[in-house]
Amino acid sequence: MSLTDLFPGFRTLDIDTPEGNIFARIGGSGPPLLLLHGYPETHAMWHAVAPTFAAHFTVVAADLRGYGRSFVAPSAADHRTYAKRAMAADMVVAMQQLGFDRFAVMGHDRGARVSYRLALDHPDAITRLVLLDILTTADVWATLDRRNALRMYHWMFLAQTSPLPEQLLAADPRDYLEGRFRRGTTTLPAWLDPRVLADYAAAFDQPARRRATCDDYRAGATIDVEHDLADQATGRTIIAPTQLLWGTRGNLVDIADPLALWRPWCQAISGREISGREISGRAIDCGHFIPEEAPAELLAASLPFLQGQSQRQPKTWASKSR
């Protein structure tokens, strides 16, 4: 079996944007749902849930810029070419190219950071927002302590000035990649499909893409925080109904109440009163890589939420596919 066999009935597309091509697999019918992957992964991370989602939605599983088979942007001194604002803009254009002006989005890890930036920067485009195992980038840095800094050491390592992390990763990129999944053990987890790992490795073996992922983290230590803090200062919040799901052994294990940290980002001021937007969520019994570790549980938690969106049929993507 090939990677294509894990996405039955899906087509592959290179979608033109002003910045470069966005690679995606597209399948299903109904309201559009965009799936955005995390680090060090590609769209293939959604293989265990995408076919079921496709029974209810038109599913677009895309590679972020710099990852997988999507275009690699150049580096920039201020890291804006890998800011989540730029990555979010890619996805708005790509979805518009497919005929979707409004869509739901589910993101994991780095893709979840792009997803909440989508909701903040393009509120009219997002119908529902599902975030997997993250806090906002500003809140990650604000809550960082010794214990979770050791667990999330790669945030600091990959954000170092070029070419230090790139040179160290080049020594044995496959071992580093696999280490992100082994999480301190000597064997790869049973839930990690070898075909999917091979897709991750094919991208991570490319020096330009390793550099791009480092730039992603450099942006996460600089310009992404600036954008979050600017939103806080001006009171801009997420309008779309939002669901947060996290792993009991994931990145939020030391956060007593993750929803409490997200509520200020999902509030609206009406007159002089602050009213909470719809936000919900819970923990799932797994680690960080929820869509691969606990696909059935993720589907059970997220499908009812996503199906609360408008069932008005959008324009078909097939007519604009390229």
Catalytically annotated residue among 47, 108, 227, 288: 288
Instruction: Write down the pLDDT at residue 184.
Output: 73
Please say if 215 is a catalytic residue: no
Kindly state the average pLDDT of the residues 102-125: 98
Catalytically annotated residue among 37, 47, 90, 109: 109
Lowest mean pLDDT among 178-192, 204-218, 233-247, 258-272: 258-272
Please say if 288 is a catalytic residue: yes
- List pLDDT tens digits, range 35-55: 999 999 999 999 999 999 999
State the pLDDT confidence band at 268, using cuts at 50, 70 and 90.
low
From the list 143, 69, 156, 83, the residue with the least C-alpha distance to 113 is: 83
Instruction: Give dist(CA 245, CA 275) in Å, integer.
Output: 22
Instruction: Write down the pLDDT at residue 305.
Output: 96
Q: Give the contacts of 182 (CB within 8 A, at least 6 positions apart).
A: 188, 189
Kindly state the average pLDDT of the residues 166-193: 94
Most confident of 180-189, 259-268, 284-293: 284-293
State the pLDDT confidence band at 106, using cuts at 50, 70 and 90.
very high
pTM summary value:
0.94
